[in-house]
Structures are given as C-alpha cells and as structure tokens.
Amino acid sequence: MEATIEIKGVGHVYKGGVEALKGVDLQIGKGLFGLLGPNGAGKSTLMKIMCTLIKPTEGSVRLAGADVVEERRKVRAAIGYLPQDFGAWRLQRVEEVVDILARLSGLADKKVRKERVHAVLEQVGLDQVAGRKVKKLSGGMLRRLGVAQALVHAPQFLVVDEPTVGLDPEERLRFRKLMGQLAKEKTIVLSTHIVADLGSACRDLALIAKGKIVYRGAPEGLLEHAKSRVFEMVLPIDRAEDLGREFEIVSRVRDGVGIRVRAVALHGSPPADSIPIADPTLEEGYLAFMAEHGERVHAETPKVAEVAS
C-alpha cells in the first residue's frame, strides 16, 4: 500500500520531562487506520503533531510529502481534525458553525461555500437539523457536527481523536458507518482506546503503549494472543469482584444468584474450573496483547448487565 502519511523516529517530551512519544515509526496508506491504546499512551500527542498543533521534539511527519513543521499551511489545507473535546459554538446554529469554519478554511465564495456546507451536513446526516442551535444537539449529533467541520474544506486526510466517548450504542454504530464510508476515498487516522470504534472498515492498525508502537498489522493478528487465555465462569458475587485483580474482565452478567464473568488471563492459564472460549473477540485479543506488555487496559471492572440466566 502506498504510504500517504510517513512518521519517522518521532519523539516528544513535554515541559517537566514527561516523555509522551519514543521513536514512533509508521507508514499509513489510504483507508481507515486505527491507532489503538490505553489512555495516556501518547495517541493524542501524535494526533496533534500530525495536525501541526505541536512540534515533535525529534523525528519528522509528512502528509502526501508535506512536512508538518516546515510546510504547515500546506498540511493544514489537506487535513481535517476532530479533537476529542470538540463542543464549542453552543449558541450558533449548526449551519452557521460549519459556514464560519469553512470561511476560516479559505472558502471565500459565498455560493460555493453554501453548497459545500449543505453537502457535508447531508453527508453526516445533519441536514434536517441545520437550523438547530448547537446546545440542543445530542452527543452523537455534536460528534457528527465535528466531522462536518473537519470535512468542509474537502481534505485528503481526516484525523479523529477518541470520537465516540460518551455516545450511546446506536450513535457509536452510526459513527462507525460514517467512518467506513469516508474511508473509501480518504486517509483516516482514528485514535481510540475502544476496539469496537474501529469497525469492520479498519484493515490496518497500530497499538501504542507508553509512547511506543508495540504492534502493527491487521486486526486479526491480535487474535493469536488471546488463544487459550479467554474464559467464562459463574461465581458468587463477592468472588466476582476479586477476580478483577487477577484477570482482565471483559463482561459481567447476572446468572441466577451469581455472576457469569468473561475474562482474559493476564499471566499463565485461566482458572482450572473455568470454561475456555474457543473464538475470542478482537477486543479480547487486544486485552491479551496489552497484558503481555504490562498494560491493564480496563481502568475499572465492567458493571453487571442484568440479563436473565
């Protein structure tokens, strides 16, 4: 695959000596590329470097041959960015926000800009609420507005940072579908700590941990790491709480008077009295891989789902 983004030896150290990135090398081609890793791994720092918002301490990044430090204007014209915390413009109407940002992107012709604003709002499914104020949008609509402003100047590249935080399952699904559609014609870099955010359109990804790339390849390659390590077992409620200290918990479902737990063994084999899972999921492959590198992905034990036994 022809590389459209080239990242070579990128490192970044913040004031105070915090080393966020350490010798990152990546070549990214057209389509949806996933950058996966736990919070604090360095994903957002790499995104900001790609978008010319901060300069790397060392190394270089090129988008379609343009250097993000030496050719910032050229890069900014070719890139659309949806930050994790997009949510300003509360008192403006949806179409006003996109129009303002279109003007800032260089679309000076009013007629052309109006057509473009309408086109991107239709593309992200917001054309029916174009006159609504931003403060009245749902969380999912707000994220789609963020995509619209990133697309309005027709960029070649789209960089999306933690796009589905706080969204309900239906909006997550809608967002994954939108990314899959856009990936047919653009290079999209999607940063997340949630495996499901990548969707079926993602054919290439990298895992980052403590500022370093620890895996690069197809999502399916992670499944090998979960073989013979994923299990289920039914436990009393008090024991189910303790299990999270020894294993990475994937799900907890009420089963009669106990809790059915699905988990990944962090070290060694699953418990002797557990039921092995023959076909682990991609998320479980990710959890197993990160465990091998000393990273606990889940910050807390998942809540119990109320499902009948």
- What pLDDT is attached to residue 222? 87
- What pLDDT is attached to residue 30? 92
- What pLDDT is attached to residue 1? 47
Amino acid in position 280: P
* Contact of 37 with 296, CB cutoff 8 Å: no
Which two tokens mark 79?
């890139």
- What pLDDT is attached to residue 214? 94
Helix (H) or strand (E) holding 11: strand 5-13
- What pLDDT is attached to residue 306? 44
Domain coordinates of the chain in residue numbers? 5-217, 223-305
- What pLDDT is attached to residue 25? 97
CATH number of the structural domain 5-217: 3.40.50.300
- What pLDDT is attached to residue 268? 75
What are 126-136's pLDDT values in tens digits?
999 999 999 99
Q: Name the stretches of the chain with pLDDT < 50.
A: 1, 299-302, 306-309
- What pLDDT is attached to residue 305? 53
Which two tokens mark 226?
């979960």
- What pLDDT is attached to residue 118? 95
Rounded CA-CA distance 110/237 in Å is 63
> In the structure, how many helices (H) and strands (E) does the chain have?
8, 15
* Contact of 31 with 187, CB cutoff 8 Å: yes
